[in-house]
Structure 1
Amino acid sequence: MNKGSIARAAKYERRNQYHLLWAHFFKRFLHNDLISPQGETQITLIHILSVLTVPGFLFAYVAFKKYFIYLKSTPPMIRMAATLSDQGLLIAFSMIAMGFLAILEWDALLPERRDFAVLTPLPIRRKTLLGAKVTALLLFLWFFTTAINLFPALVLPWATADQADSLITLLWRIAVHLVSVGVASTFVFFSCVTLHGLLVNFPGRHSLDRVSRAAQFLLLLLLVQALFLLPQLSFAIKTLKQTDSLAAYLPPLWYLGLYQTLLGNEDPVYRSLAGTALTALGLSFAGSLLVYIFSFRERLSPWTEAREYQSPSVPRAQAWVETFLSRLTIRNEVEQAIFHFVIKTTLRSHKHRLYLGAYAAVGLAFSGVTTLASVRWVEEATLEQIQSALLPVPLILLFFLLVGMRYIFTI
């Protein structure tokens, strides 16, 4: 064989390796104990797509009736206000949904030790390995962003367009919708990658690993709270043009500004929000790129595997709290043993921790929403009114924690 044939064969082999690796990494996103406990990735993919496309389909159906029947002959100002509200709602929902997906794939966002332990001894170039992982990550982002916004992207730009708009204008509106919602989802996804990378790739790995788990729970709590407050977004949009409006600090409204700017709206408020949106997207992309390169180099270090297998000790504060609670509330020794067994097995399982944290996050978010709703319409709430609004909170939290405990005992 001559040198040209050898070079072509090597190039073909690298291309074949690349395709096999990115397909493997993409399947690893679906082969997740949290979303695919039985390892059936194809069935899991169908289930996820079904869940993600249903809200978009329902929104498209409601938008069709809303703009072609109920708002067909309304004044332009009312129609524009409804359009802004729906555009902001779709952007916010897409960001929240992508945030939930990033939390579910928290450990798979960065290069994993198991993949590198298996693949690095093989004759695979590092560039091919890194490129395949990044390709799988971007494909995951594109695939699920498209699933979330498939039906709204086809209906909303068409329903909100003027009757005199041409086909090219309509296609441009659809493209603007896809770009605006897509970059909003990308910002959330890259921000989660950056945060996760910063928390697990610095000295003191095991202590920061606990911080990473806490950050995962806090992000989950924030997203659930944002989901409950989603109907209030229209009120924030109305205050955008007020001086020193706090609504300008809401990320969904940054990308609403980008949406309006791309549609040709020359309002300086929207232009400012669009600039903020692009800056935030650039920072999140740069941060995720840096932590990815650092994580890749860290995984190739010969000392990484030894650090991974070090068993972290239980924090003294956690052990003291467990002992204090068991002795304070439980007198029977057998019940104390059961209490410690349940606590330790629950806290050592990532799947059980995340499920219980999800129920706790729903309870906290629901408590916050009900408390705010109780005092919202009171101009000057008294201490007694605030205390009265807070009374149901412990019962709500206890209910969701008990439901969560009951669920994790079945898995």
Structure 2
Amino acid sequence: MVDLELLSAHAMGDMSKLFGQFAALLISLSTILSLGALGFDSRKPPQKLLIALWSMEHTLFATTMFVVGLFAVLSWDSAFPDRRDVLVLAPLPVRARTLFVAKVAALASALSVTVATLNSCTGLLWPLALFPAGSGVLGLIRSFLAYWITMLASGAFIFCSVLGVQGLAAQLPRRLFLRASAFLQMAALCLFVTVYFLQPSLTTPQALIAARNQRSLAWLPSYWFLGLFQALNGSMHPALAPLARRACAGLLIAGIGAASAFLLSYFRTLRKIVEEPDIAPGSRGVNWWPRFGSLPQTAVVLFSVRTLLRSRQHRLILAFYLGIGFAIMILLAKGSPAQEQALAASGGILGGQVNVPLLISSVVMLCAAVVGTRIVFSMPLDLRANWIFRITAVRGGPDCLAASRRSLLLLAVAPVWAGSALLFLSICPWRPVAGHLLVLGLVGLLLADGCLYGFQKIPFTCSYLPGKTYVHLLVLPGLALMMVIVAGVGFERRALGDPATYLRMLLVLAIAAVCARWRLVARARSEDTDVQFEDESAPTIFVLGLTRDGVLPIEPAPARGPMHP
């Protein structure tokens, strides 16, 4: 996921801290999903019990396939060895077949660890509630085996599908493959997010056998593996029998296709990796850009823009955060009627003219874009190219901060603001839209200044220190931020119908933006003016620095001799 050459010297080439945080996040998700098994009521009527079990089983399989799909997309570049691996291993007496087997074993191990971590709690508790009644101990053991076999099979299906598509794309010339990979990664990420959050609920016998749903079931693999689990669990329902057969056929086709495409492309790709660059060359076009301040500031802004446009790895990480915002938008759209009624009850003369879920979605997408762009700013492109910034007159302090701030506003705030303006103006009256866009712009300035607090770097040039952000602890703050956004949009909707309240709200936001900007600049001026090229964490033990060249500055008093009378 991250090249080891881009890591900070303080990380010592170790990514275990970041992987541990991702594992903690998956275990937390598994714990939340397993809570339903503790309080599951098996005394429900048979029909309701069947629907409840199928719904939970489908949720577990769909979540596993979604997480594995994200893993496959984020580890896209690790399917083939990179340039450094080829340059190091090619001169050695190691057969290409050995490299191929080692790479396949590494991918299979990573897939197994991902599935096992995600199901660490659910795989122990839910089989206790899913085994057929009256089957005894053997039925319980069979349920455990069926659960884990189905989970591994569903994960393998998704991973093999992505690997097969990548193997087919690798048959293209290297330059076309690099360009196609960027598109395929984005398309796969959008596909997984859209299917996971928008797929219909068909967990009733009537819905599964309905003729109008057969076309949807043919394109929803999560329901296939629901049928496979029922077959392995010994609780097969006639409505699920075709889905179980489709799961077996799909897994076989995906496995054979991935093995064939990957095997054909692996050996012919090794030579191309050395011969051609890993980054797709930019197309020649209009080279005129406006000025973004002084010449050094303009250079930093243009460097940031072109790096993000050309580096597919950075674009993919940013797309991951945008996908989170898009998923929240989908959830808001699915729950929009209830939320519309809840917020409309609070009053507001524009109750029928403003789409509240869209207002919330615009703020959520703005947060996702700003946070995601700020995070990719911390990931370098190539540390060996930092010498060009080290020998130029680019200095830290307010000048460097201003360049980074303009880059963040240009790459994150401006696109979301412009997209929101086009969307809202096409479906809503222009007066409330203008009021919301003004609020959205002030919120964007606040977010940009807050995310850049303490940022004394040039984007994409500082080494990366994995695990510094503690991603597994950001779930609760994210939920709290979501609650604040919903409450704030509710207040904004009421304020749009009252000019006096709206002006007071704008005044508060403007004062907050000015204070955040002043605090950011004051922090930049008070710190060291050197640009930071090596990321480091705060030391656990602070050294007072009382020594100079290994010698205490105050010499100890000489030892006194024996006292004489």
Q: Into which bin does the TM-score normalised by the smaller protein fall?
A: 0.7 to 0.9
- Give matches, 1:145-294, under 5 Å: 145-162=115-132, 164-203=134-173, 205-229=174-198, 233=201, 239-245=207-213, 246-248=215-217, 249-294=219-264
CA contact (8 A) 1:356 1:408 kept: yes
Residue by residue over 1:77-97, the C-alpha shift from the partner in whole angstroms, topping out at 9 and shown as x without a partner, is: 211111111110110000011
Matched, 1:57 2:31: yes
Matched, 1:315 2:296: no
Give the drift of 1:184. Answer: 0.5
Distance in 2 between the 1:175 and 1:314 partners?
Answer: 51
**In 2 relative to 1, CA 375–237 (structure 1 residues): closer, same or farther, beyond 3 Å?**
farther
- Give matches, 1:341-356, under 5 Å: 341-356=303-318
CA contact (8 A) 1:98 1:145 kept: yes
Q: Which residue of 2 is the match for residue 40 of structure 1? A: 14
CA contact (8 A) 2:279 2:310 kept: no
CA contact (8 A) 1:197 1:295 kept: yes
Matched, 1:407 2:369: no
Matched, 1:100 2:100: no
Q: Which residue of 1 is the match for residue 274 of structure 2? A: 305
Give the drift of 1:195. Answer: 1.6
Residue by residue over 1:334-393, the C-alpha shift from the partner in whole angstroms, topping out at 9 and shown as x without a partner, is: 576554222112234444322222222233333344345447999xxxxxx899478536
Flag the structure with larger Rg. 2
Give the drift of 1:315. Answer: 2.5
Q: Identity of aligned pairs, percent?
A: 26
**In 2 relative to 1, CA 160–263 (structure 1 residues): closer, same or farther, beyond 3 Å?**
closer
Give the drift of 1:119. Answer: 1.5
Distance in 1 between the 2:96 and 2:79 partners?
Answer: 18
Give the drift of 1:177. Answer: 0.8
Give the drift of 1:147. Answer: 1.7
- Give matches, 1:348-367, under 5 Å: 348-367=310-329
Structure 2 alignment gaps of length 5 or more: 341-351, 380-565
**In 2 relative to 1, CA 125–277 (structure 1 residues): closer, same or farther, beyond 3 Å?**
same
Higher mean displacement: 387-396 or 186-195 = 387-396
Give the drift of 1:76. Answer: 1.9
Q: Which residue of 1 is the match for residue 103 of structure 2? A: 133
Distance in 2 between the 1:132 and 1:244 partners?
Answer: 46
CA contact (8 A) 1:221 1:364 kept: no
Q: Which has the higher helix share?
A: 1
SS at match of 1:313: coil
Give the drift of 1:129. Answer: 2.3
Q: Which residue of 2 is the match for residue 112 of structure 1? A: 82
**In 2 relative to 1, CA 408–138 (structure 1 residues): closer, same or farther, beyond 3 Å?**
closer
Residue by residue over 1:198-238, the C-alpha shift from the partner in whole angstroms, topping out at 9 and shown as x without a partner, is: 223312x22331221122122223333345447x6466886
- Give matches, 1:369-408, under 5 Å: 369-374=331-336, 388=355, 392=359, 396-408=364-376
Q: Which residue of 2 is the match for residue 18 of structure 1? A: none
Structure 1 alignment gaps of length 5 or more: 1-27, 379-384
Which of 121, 130, 142 is the aligned partner of 2:91?
121
The count of corresponding residues between Structure 1 and Structure 2 is 363
**In 2 relative to 1, CA 397–59 (structure 1 residues): closer, same or farther, beyond 3 Å?**
closer
Distance in 2 between the 1:311 and 1:30 partners?
Answer: 14
RMSD between aligned residues: 3.5
